[in-house]
Each structure stands twice: as structure tokens, then as C-alpha cells.
Amino acid sequence: MHVATLASEDDFDGWRTAARTLALAGVAPDAVVWQVGDQPADLFADQPAPDAPSGAFSVPRPFVDLARRALCHRDPERFALLYTLLTRIRAQPKLLDDQADPLVRRIEHLAKDVRRDMHKMRAFVRFREIAVDGAEPRYVAWFEPDNHIVRANADFFARRFTTMHWSILTPELSVHWDGDTLAFTPGAHRADAPDGDPLEETWKTYYAAIFNPARVKVGAMTKEMPRKYWKNMLETALVPELLASAQKRESGMIAAAHADIGGNARVSWEALREESGGCTRCPLYGPATQTVFGEGPTDARLMFVGEQPGDQEDIAGRPFVGPAGQVFDRAITAAGIDRARVYVTNAVKHFKFEPRGKRRIHAKPAGPEIDACRWWLDQERVLVRPPVTVALGATAARALLGRVVTISKSRGTAITLPDGGECWVTVHPSYLLRLPDRVQAEEEYARFVEDLTTARNRAEAFA
């Protein structure tokens, strides 16, 4: 047995050095014991990792990124799992493409858990001010992450709160920023963090300004905002009061958003897309690979809304790149539309599927999933403000119009959306792929192109 000792639970560099050395020496995964710091090792694990033999090897970049994330998971088996994956990737460089491989899937799940935990930390950390006589104010927050993510997330907070002097205390590791340098100290206790202060009012004011009452589902709040974080959050106390004035506030919020965005729409969109990567508003985030957000210019005059990402979109992280996307690209080109100038998104941002052997078969999103994901679509629409929107299929129409519509009855007529834009309903390109009769498929395709041409003409009228 060989013993590989890492400096800390999130010591990626230490793991990488040890794993490279072990792999070059040809040490089998089951002959390595991984330990952190001075934890007691296995009684039989008495042989240190070998000295580095000469030579080098490279691994695909996606493996390094995946390993860096997965290594922050609390699962004690992660070091060994990653080393096993590394040894297999040396023999099979495209192994990560095999989504059916149990080890690949398990490690991707670890990485996904870590990504989600990092997003939660970014969303739920709340600083409170500590007044120190004669010194710069210091802001302190308490947070309890599920995984070893504090170091991996520190740069984000340093960039975001770069002019503040702050500390984030957690049970395992604390991080401090003095405006110039990040420093790490051992974990702390909740009692070490302050309970309340003037910043509380600032946060409440901020939260009241961004609160979207129409989208709050009180019953679902424990999913969106796990209860364990509630005690650290000042804004939870505001929810009942804000809900009471829901309608009035929503109108004001939308109007303010339109007025404020100005030239910052792209920046806001980037932030929104990043935020969507950690969404847990409905259960679809669980089995899918990643959030597939919309793409396109934020000043597009034409927006296309599809149903949800498919198998290939889920892996690529981009909408409309699979078989239906190819039909879509061909049809918009035939309609004289340049894809680079339109905004393309989906009503639901995660791939819903049923596993069947090695395949993942598309499953239709349910009403509550469409409603949950509408929050993102609404935000995209506030930022892009397209005068013309095309709903590709019934799911998109439901998300945009807030009600179930029949495609055959709604097609060919503009419907006014709540934000004043025009909505044109047509079929989803995947419908064309499913038509077994070739003549009918060609007729339907031509009709689809006609619908797209109408939408293009309408969008051009707003130039």
C-alpha cells in the first residue's frame, strides 16, 4: 500500500502532484490510501508515495476542471475515485464523453453538488458590520457550506466586495479580505459572528428592491432557499409583508428594471446566466448535466423560445444545437434570419429525460416545472425586451402567455404579451422531425418557414 498525504480537504494541487507521481510509477488505484493532514492512515498503509519518476503525461482540460470541482466534495472517497478516473483516462482519453460510465457519472455528480453549493454560498452569505473605533469598518458573515468550497469561492467574494474589509466564518475554514490579500484561518463558531447591526437595514432595503413577489411560492421556499440558511438571512422576515403588496410592487419593479438597465443589459445578462447555473427551483436540476441558458445579443429584436434543452444541448450547454436545432437553423436561414442577431432560449432550462439503457429519452416538462422556470424567462425578457417573440411549441406558448394554448388555433395571429411585445406561436422544430410522412413533413416545414418569415417581417418593422 502507498500513502498519499494531502495538506487539506481541498488540496487539489497536492492531489494532482501525488496522482501524477503514482500514475507514472504505475501504482494501481486500489494500492493507494489517501489521507488528509495527520489523519491516521490505514494500519497496512505503510509505504509512502513513490518519488516522481521522470516523464510526464497530459490529460484533457475538462478532466482537470472536473477534478478541481469534485475534489471539494465532502465524500471521503473522492481522492481515490479521481485517481481511478485519471488512470482510466490515460488509457481512454475520451472517457469523459461516455455519460453512461458509472464512474464518470458519479464524479460529475460530485462536481455538480460542489457547483451548487458554491452558488448557494454566493447567494446566501450576508455580511454584518462590526464597528471598530478608529478603524475601517469590518464586515463579517457566517455560513455553513455542505462541502469544502470556501477556498474555491474566495476569489469570487474578493472580486465582488473588493473595497470592503470582510471575513466569512465557517465551521471548517474562515477567509478574510483586507482589500488586497486573502487570508485563511481555521474554522469558527456561529457565536463568533455578529447577530445584527446597521447593515441589516441596508440588506433589507436592497432585498425589498429586488423582491419579485409574483414568483414567490411559499411552499417551495425550502427548496429554493434551504431552511438552514434562513437564520442567516435578514430578508426572510420581510417576505410576508412584501407578499401583501405583491401586485403593486411587481408593476413598479418591471418599470424600474426597464428604466435602469440602459447600457448594462449585457453585464446584467452575464450575471443572470451565471446565477441560473445554481438554480434549484424545481427538481429538474438533479439529473441534468447543467443549466442551458439562452444566448444571443441583448438588443435582439426577435426572440425564439423553445421547450427545453435536449440530450445534446444538455452536454454542450447551448440551446438548439441538436437535431431539432439543425432544423431550426435551416428554417431560419430560409426565412432570411441571421441566428447571430436573434436571441434563442428555452422555457425550461434543464433537460428532462427518462433513462432507457444508455440513452436519455426526452420527457415533457410538467406545468409546475414550466412555471418555476418562467422566472428565468421573465428575467431574460426584461433584459432583452424583444418587440417580437416566437413561441416554438405549446410549452413555450404556455410559459410566455401563462395559459395553455392550442397551436393550431393560435398560429398566424399576433398575441400581445403582458410586457407589450408581440408573440407568434408556431410548432417546435422537433415536431417536424417526428412526422413519418415525407410529403406532410415537407408541407409542414414550408409552413414553419412561412411563420418565421412573418415574425422576421414584424421584427424588421420595429427597426
Smaller CB distance to ligand SF4: residue 49 or 347? 347
Smaller CB distance to ligand SF4: residue 151 or 215? 215
Q: Which helix (H) or strand (E) holds 261?
A: helix 246-261
Interhelix angle 367-384/394-401, rounded to 10 degrees, is 70
CB-based contact 34:2 (threshold 8 Å)? no
The minimum distance between CB 122 and ligand SF4, in angstroms, equals 16
The minimum distance between CB 307 and ligand SF4, in angstroms, equals 11
The minimum distance between CB 354 and ligand SF4, in angstroms, equals 16
**What letter does residue 295 receive in the DSSP assignment?**
B
Q: Which three cell numbers stand for residue 313?
A: 444541448
- What secondary structure does DSSP assign to 319-336, as a single string? SS-SHHHHHHHHHHHHTT
Smaller CB distance to ligand SF4: residue 348 or 432? 348
Smaller CB distance to ligand SF4: residue 23 or 344? 344
Using CB under 6 A as the criterion, which residues of the chain lie in contact with ligand SF4 when the complex forms? 276, 279-282, 284-285, 291, 348-350, 369, 372-373, 376
Smaller CB distance to ligand SF4: residue 114 or 284? 284
The minimum distance between CB 412 and ligand SF4, in angstroms, equals 30
The minimum distance between CB 224 and ligand SF4, in angstroms, equals 9
Q: Which residues contact 91 (CB under 8 A, 6 or more apart)?
A: none
Q: Which residues contact 456 (CB under 8 A, 6 or more apart)?
A: 302, 335, 336, 337
Report how far Cα 387 is from the mean position of its chain's Cα atoms.
Answer: 27
Smaller CB distance to ligand SF4: residue 150 or 373? 373
Q: Which three cell numbers stand for residue 379?
A: 428575467
Smaller CB distance to ligand SF4: residue 284 or 342? 284
Short-list 435, 395, 399, 444, CA closest to 417: 399
Short-list 389, 305, 315, CA closest to 345: 305
CB-based contact 9:148 (threshold 8 Å)? yes
The minimum distance between CB 425 and ligand SF4, in angstroms, equals 21
Question: How far apart (Å, rounded) are the C-alpha atoms in residues 223 and 243?
Answer: 18
The minimum distance between CB 117 and ligand SF4, in angstroms, equals 15
Helix ranges restricted to H, 25-128: 61-70, 78-91, 102-124
The minimum distance between CB 105 and ligand SF4, in angstroms, equals 19
Smaller CB distance to ligand SF4: residue 108 or 369? 369
**What letter does residue 202 receive in the DSSP assignment?**
H
**What letter does residue 341 receive in the DSSP assignment?**
G
